């Protein structure tokens, strides 16, 4: 008897558990849930928690991933405002904000990305078409307008995606920029021409600066040579004045001049411990015999 009661209680517990599982469900963090009644959506849930429902087949629960998902658009040509073709690829991140419209109009993540890719292609073409080629490809970083283009595209996509599909486009950016092969060479030619023009301008400025520096150096050289010539003339005049005074003294005392010349000659010969064997009668060695006399 006791065994039968235990089996009955266990069966009843299992039945109650099955009933509870049919009427209670959990919305986990990061889930988007739609509850339908006989196939018609009646509740959309994105807040985590414990909820109740009528058992199947009256009500059914559809679950979707509400976390941010990303995809990359195709790398394809668009036309700029000045008639140039460029290749552009963008990436986008999205998540479900309205589960009921998402279930009714989209249904799956794969279909959502296909819909968003169409929106991305349309708005990329329209937005890039309002900008010039130089806003996308330029040697001057300040002329690039990537951020403005991205903001315009995401604003347009966000409004339509949320209204039509219950999707929020949370992020968007330009992934790649390229040039069709037909215009790549023309772009490189123009860039080379711009660089050549810039190099020629720098070369011209350098030559002008070199001419200025040479002219300034020549001017300083002339001034230095003029000062040196003036100093030389002054020193030469002073030396000639001193020489004239010496000549006057030598003219009054010629013996002194001769004596001094002989001393200079003797000093020149006797340098570096020189050994000379000559008669003391020979000039100027006769000075070594004793003090000479002169009038």
Give the span between the Cα atoms of 67 and 32, in whole angstroms.
Answer: 9
Residue 277 to residues 269, 270, 273, 282, Cα–Cα distance (Å):
12, 12, 13, 11
Structure-token pair, residue 293: 């006399």
Q: Same domain for 96 and 49?
A: no
Instruction: Give 293's pLDDT tier (boundaries 50, 70, 90).
Output: very low
pLDDT at 20 exceeding the cut of 50: yes
pLDDT at 295 exceeding the cut of 60: no
Give the span between the Cα atoms of 224 and 233, in whole angstroms.
Answer: 14
Residues 147-180, buried b or exposed e (16+ Cβ, 10 A)? eebbebbbebbbebbbeebbbebeebebeeeebe
Q: Same domain for 93 and 141?
A: yes
Which domain-ending residue is among 186, 209, 226? Answer: 186
Q: Same domain for 156 and 111?
A: yes
Residues 108-132, buried b or exposed e (16+ Cβ, 10 A)? eeeebbebbbebbeebbeebbeebb
Q: Same domain for 119 and 171?
A: yes
To the nearest whole number, what is the mean pLDDT of the chain?
81
Q: Same domain for 109 and 164?
A: yes
Residue 225 to residues 98, 228, 230, 231, 237, Cα–Cα distance (Å):
91, 5, 8, 10, 18
Q: Same domain for 51 and 90?
A: no
Q: Same domain for 49 and 104?
A: no
Give the span between the Cα atoms of 93 and 169, in whole angstroms.
Answer: 6
pLDDT at 94 exceeding the cut of 60: yes
Which residues touch 149 (CB under 8 Å, ≥6 apart)? 127, 128, 131, 135, 136, 174
Is residue 57 in some structural domain?
yes
Task: Return the ∠ at Cα 78 (arms to 73 and 79), rounded to 5°.
Answer: 165
Which residues touch 55 (CB under 8 Å, ≥6 apart)? 19, 22, 23
Which residues touch 112 (CB under 8 Å, ≥6 apart)? 94, 102, 106, 165, 167
Query: Helix (H) and strand (E) counts for the chain?
Result: 6, 9
Number of domains into which the chain is organized: 3
Q: Same domain for 61 and 73?
A: no
pLDDT at 201 exceeding the cut of 90: no
CATH number for the domain including 96? 3.30.479.30
pLDDT at 21 exceeding the cut of 90: no
Is residue 112 in some structural domain?
yes
Instruction: Give 97's pLDDT tier (boundaries 50, 70, 90).
Output: very high
Give the span between the Cα atoms of 124 and 118, in whole angstroms.
Answer: 10
- The closest alpha carbon to 152, from 173, 137, 134, 179, belongs to 173
- The closest alpha carbon to 102, from 41, 25, 29, belongs to 41
Give the span between the Cα atoms of 123 and 155, in whole angstroms.
Answer: 10
Q: Same domain for 47 and 150?
A: no
Is residue 7 in some structural domain?
no
Residue 51 to residues 43, 46, 68, 76, Cα–Cα distance (Å):
11, 12, 24, 46
Which domain-ending residue is among 171, 186, 201? Answer: 186
Higher pLDDT, 57 or 250: 57
pLDDT at 281 exceeding the cut of 60: no
pLDDT at 286 exceeding the cut of 60: no
Q: Same domain for 59 and 74?
A: no
Q: Which helix or strand (DSSP H or E) is residue 95 part of?
A: strand 85-96
Please, how many CA atoms are within 13 Å of residue 192, restricted to the half-sphere of its CB? 6
Instruction: Give 31's pLDDT tier (boundaries 50, 70, 90).
Output: very high
Percent of the chain with pLDDT over 70: 73
What is the domain range of residue 44? 15-65
Is residue 196 in some structural domain?
no
């Amino acid at each position: 008897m006791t065994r039968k009661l235990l089996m009955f209680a266990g069966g009843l517990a299992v039945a109650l558990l099955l009933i509870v599982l049919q009427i209670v469900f959990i919305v986990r963090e990061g889930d988007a849930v739609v509850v339908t009644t006989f196939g018609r959506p009646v509740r959309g849930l994105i807040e985590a928690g414990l909820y109740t429902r009528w058992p199947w087949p009256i009500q059914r629960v559809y679950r979707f991933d509400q976390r941010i998902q990303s995809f990359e658009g195709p790398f394809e040509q668009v036309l700029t405002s000045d008639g140039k073709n460029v290749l552009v690829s963008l990436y986008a991140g999205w998540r479900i904000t309205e589960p009921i419209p998402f279930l009714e109009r989209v249904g799956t993540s794969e279909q959502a990305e296909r819909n968003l890719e169409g929106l991305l292609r349309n708005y990329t073409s329209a937005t890039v078409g309002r900008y010039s080629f130089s806003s996308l490809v330029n040697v001057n970083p300040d002329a690039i307008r990537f951020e403005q283009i991205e903001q315009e595209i995401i604003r347009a996509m966000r409004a339509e995606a949320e209204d039509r599909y219950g999707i929020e486009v949370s992020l968007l950016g330009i992934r790649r920029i390229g040039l069709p092969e037909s215009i790549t060479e023309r772009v490189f030619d123009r860039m080379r021409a711009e660089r050549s023009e810039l190099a020629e301008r720098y070369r011209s400025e350098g030559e002008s600066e070199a001419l200025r520096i040479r002219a300034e150096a020549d001017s300083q050289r002339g001034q230095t040579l003029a000062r040196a010539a003036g100093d030389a003339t002054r020193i030469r005049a002073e030396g000639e004045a001193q020489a004239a005074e010496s000549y006057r003294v030598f003219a009054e005392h010629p013996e002194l001049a001769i004596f001094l010349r002989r001393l200079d000659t003797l000093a020149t010969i006797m340098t570096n411990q020189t050994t000379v064997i000559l008669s003391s009668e020979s000039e100027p060695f006769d000075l070594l015999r004793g003090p000479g006399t002169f009038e």
